[in-house]
Structure 1
Amino acid sequence: MTPPADDTPRRPQGEGPPPTYTPWLVVRAAPGDQGSRPLPAGAVYYASPDIAVAPADTWGRVLAGDTVTVSVTAQNLGHAAAPGVRAQFWWADPSVGLTPQQATFIGTSDRTPIAAGLAETLVCTTPWTPVFVNGGHECLVVEVSSLSDPLTSTFRSDLDRHVGQRNVTVLPPQGEPQRIVLTLANPFREDARTTLWVRTFQVTGFERLPGFGLPLSPADTLLHVDDPVLAEPLAALGTEVTAREPGQDLAFGDVTIDPDARCGGYPEAVLAELRERRAPGHDFGRPVADVLLPAAGIATVELTAPLGTTGGAALVHRLTQVCDDIDVGGYTLLALPI
């Protein structure tokens, strides 16, 4: 392969891989993701369609106690091969402001070369055994890197195309009510007003998603139902997406600050990138919790939700944590009909 000539047309900055002779590894945050970072405020970067678990049901749910294989599909959208690509995998309790110190390491994949323009699935060589705790909701975080295309911002899929995050629902052996304790974390080195917001979408006709050859799995399609890339195929299937009362069917408790806990935070360079994403006035939905968190402080808020929905529709709840007008993390709850 020869490098592109000097007169190769240039992409506008931020619209995908540069036309230089380099690899460009991407773990997608959304269906149409080409690796442009940082992502804008309000982007759903915590439901990567490239992270998979098996065995799982049609809607991506795993059973507590099963031996589960976790994998990630990494694309190389650049003009040069990426040698020795390796993925690292973690799991954590649901947190809308997740930091590395809150996660538990699972393992790594073998090193694999990824040719220019191709993708490879990297499989964690250590199995994960999910347990039913905290309402059966867990986060998976994956980091993919190569010596020729290294990671830059650990655990921040909104800042680094090498990082992916995905929420996973763990089913109990027998039905239990969903009681979830969400962690709110202030990653900054100064006090920050921290607010939890929620938006809700209702999806009808979602049962038509399996078997229609969509570019995403049925579970990922539901998680990204409001993505413009999916508007046309969803309309063709007769699947309708409508906004509902934010937080419908959810109940939020009081916020409790843990005076002795600290989340660890990020290096100053990563914090500077986060501060640049400040978006005052952005519509994140309805505020459901508000607290002034000390530097690197941690708080929790209890959330209860029905085991499922009635009436045949699915509900998608988007939770977003905002610190002083900065979108620092999120979580998606998916409620299917009982």
Structure 2
Amino acid sequence: MTERKQVRPAAEGWTQAKDETGKPLLQFAEPKRKQPPVHLADLSIAERAERVKELGIQGFRAKQLSTHYFTHYTSNAADMTDLPAAGREELVGALLPPLLTEVKRLQTDKGDTIKFLWRLFDGALVESVLMRYTGRITLCISSQAGCGMNCPFCATGQAGLTRNMSAGEIVDQIVRANQAIARGELGGRKVKAGDAPERVSNIVFMGMGEPLANYNRVMSALRTMIEPQPNGLGMSARNITVSTVGLVPAIHKLAAEEIPVTFALSLHAPDDKLRDELIPVNSRWKVDEALDAARAYFDATGRRVSIEYALIKDMNDHEWRAELLAKKLNERGKGWVHVNP
């Protein structure tokens, strides 16, 4: 039997930026930049009431404001007629400042998929993708402007990290998608009279950025997503997928949060030699460490883990690699994982 050739990432022109010591360049620290304006979705329920009181308005108005944003998906003061006319514009301007400006959208699959390009307050650009499937509407969201993980096959990773997104910016992607759905802009099923309004049902953190490198803001956004309406979006944690290239300490931290999101590990190679070339963070935490952390996540939450594996011809799709991956997964038990090629 002829042995299959092995294509190395460098042969495809995929190179990693290096630091001054020659190691793969990884950006965990956020570059110093002006931070986005504080938004309702950045604040806890108690903090919202306090912020409203600071404006000289009764604290219970914060819940009314939350109802408009998280339930009716509006930031337009003119829609909020239950708020006193005097001070309404000031209140909305202070707690619901504009975070995302739509720059461009692409629509495919007969309108069932919409790709949004957003400009943030400082000019940074991020993307999100809205997709209709049978029985669900999924939104792929970004957690960072750019990415510091330096994966050579990823255009975002090669661009480097611009900054972390705020919790408000992360959540606002969902609200803006729900606005598009409400306006009938997503193709496919149309709501009939008497039907419940459609909205985003599933979230995948697989847009721009490494979610676990923006840990605190992503966790804040997650809590707002699963907080029941009207104080949050009322989503199911089980319908939210957090994907990572393998930041092992953060995986253990996520497991301890007791928020049963679906966890996905972007593995792409079962052997350290190739994964070092494909996923630079593998120079910090090796394949076995990442898989051990993934298994620990299952043990802590009972949620089956997804292994993401992009098949690249003659690079990582060899039979022996499939066998090695199966061996490593089975060594850690049965029924805790599925592979998504």
Which TM-score applies when normalising by structure 1? 0.25
Which TM-score applies when normalising by structure 2? 0.25
Q: Which has the larger radius of gyration?
A: 2
Q: Which has the higher contact order (CA 8 A, sep 6+)?
A: 1
Higher strand share: 1
